[in-house]
A = this chain, B = another copy of it.
């Protein structure tokens, strides 16, 4: 069983530009994290885009959808900004692909040393290995069905809608 990890950017992969004092994207840290965590799950990492999810367009989401459809793997983890994770999840969920797709992300950049990304990536990989076909958001140690999840803007945690 091999896992496909699709990288789209988000806080997870943001870096701090020391010269300009801003946060920006360079390249994904997912491979070095998997290596550092001694993760032995067979996984392929593919960067589709490196963007803030607030700037993700319908065209970007089409790229993600198409990649999920066409790739060989049946188990897919997508790293994604948390702000519009629920929108991408709904779009993918409606497409009804016969695969297990898990979206995850982080509130704190990996490079800041104490990111929640390690924990979230750990649970995302575990959930994608065990959950049945479907599209899920994995945050805060839990998984949510694509059609029943939202980010609570005040607390920053994910919750069921109803």
Contact = CB atoms under 8 A, between A and B. Distances in A.
A116 B19 contact: no
Contact of A153 (B19, B114, B119): B19
Interface string A45-56: 000000010000
A127 interface: yes
Interface string A1-35: 00000000001001010110101000000000110
Copy tally for this chain in the complex stands at: 4
A contact residues, range: 35 or more
A91 interface: no
A26 to B, nearest CB: 15
A113 interface: yes
Interface in A99-120: 107-109, 111-114, 116, 118-120
Interface string A103-141: 000011101111010111111111101110000001111
A36 B114 contact: yes
A161 to B, nearest CB: 15
16 contacts: A19-B154, A21-B52, A36-B116, A37-B141, A38-B140, A39-B119, A40-B158, A40-B159, A119-B122, A121-B122, A122-B122, A124-B126, A125-B141, A129-B143, A130-B130, A130-B131
